[in-house]
Chain A
Amino acid sequence: DTEVTQTPKHLVMGMTNKKSLKCEQHMGHRAMYWYKQKAKKPPELMFVYSYEKLSINESVPSRFSPECPNSSLLNLHLHALQPEDSALYLCASSQDAAGWYNEQFFGPGTRLTVL
């Protein structure tokens, strides 16, 4: 299984809602990533988990809260988002976070719209 899956595919939420994005991989990878991608722009790194511990937080606002309950799962909890947070949220995984030659495998993304 060489796939990263993400649910839901699409999410529409109000600014007062709480929702979660989910990401799963069964490749035995020990590093998992969240990226945010605005239209016609490259992905921006948000968080990196390495061996289920948060290793990189790119100064992301606290209304985004990541969680890695086990080595196969990665969640992104959303609360009190703003319309400018509307974007494609991509999850990725790699064998580990430290290796310079580790390839990242990306999921299909969740298209988030904040009203």
Chain B
Amino acid sequence: KNEVEQSPQNLTAQEGEFITINCSYSVGISALHWLQQHPGGGIVSLFMLSSGKKKHGRLIATINIQEKHSSLHITASHPRDSAVYICAVRFPQETSGSRLTFGEGTQLTVNP
């Protein structure tokens, strides 16, 4: 069964802290997405990666294909980073590249 697991489910941090959110998946994938969703809002795509590491501002995403694991890091966290972060993957067994399997999300709260 194709599964995606995220941890932690909830994370509270103080402003300025370094944050890590983890995503593990059960079988090899074609691509992995990190998404951000603010309360009551739409979803913003942060990264899409299939290998290595990507950086955008204070956000860094890494993926280890052998270990079937990805991490999203936020450096110098800020209250505006408070949101739900969702990992979503494409499994190559899927007949359509459009089908994403989502993790349950990580609720991040950054306190000032």
Residues of A within 8 A of B (CB): 6, 31, 33, 40-43, 45, 48, 50, 55-56, 88, 90, 92, 94, 97-109, 111
Q: Point out the residues of chain A lying under 8 angstroms from B30, CB to CB.
A: 100-101
9 more contacts with CB within 8 A, not counting A42-B104, A98-B97, are A33-B98, A48-B99, A55-B98, A92-B43, A94-B98, A98-B96, A101-B30, A101-B48, A106-B44
Residues of B within 8 A of A (CB): 30-31, 33, 35, 40-45, 48, 50, 86, 88, 90, 92, 96-100, 102-105
**Are the C-beta atoms of B48 and A103 separated by less than 8 Å?**
yes
Docked Cα-Cα span, A106 to B45, in Å, equals: 8
Docked Cα-Cα span, A40 to B31, in Å, equals: 24
Q: Which of B35, B88, B90, B104 sits near A100, CB closer than 8 Å?
A: B90
Nearest chain-A residue to B103 (Cβ)?
A42
**Are the C-beta atoms of B41 and A108 separated by less than 8 Å?**
yes
Docked Cα-Cα span, A103 to B90, in Å, equals: 11
**Are the C-beta atoms of A104 and B31 separated by less than 8 Å?**
no
Q: Point out the residues of chain B lying under 8 angstroms from A88, CB to CB.
A: 40
Docked Cα-Cα span, A92 to B33, in Å, equals: 14
Nearest chain-B residue to A97 (Cβ)?
B98
Question: What are 26 sample pairs from A and B whose C-beta atoms fall under 8 A apart?
Answer: A33-B98, A42-B103, A42-B104, A43-B43, A43-B102, A45-B99, A50-B98, A55-B98, A56-B96, A90-B42, A97-B97, A98-B96, A99-B97, A100-B92, A100-B97, A101-B48, A102-B97, A102-B98, A103-B48, A104-B100, A105-B45, A106-B42, A106-B44, A107-B42, A108-B42, A109-B41
Q: Point out the residues of chain A lying under 8 angstroms from B41, CB to CB.
A: 108-109
Docked Cα-Cα span, A84 to B99, in Å, equals: 24
**Are the C-beta atoms of B42 and A109 separated by less than 8 Å?**
yes
* Minimum C-beta distance from B76 to chain A (A): 26
Q: Point out the residues of chain B lying under 8 angstroms from A48, CB to CB.
A: 96, 98-99
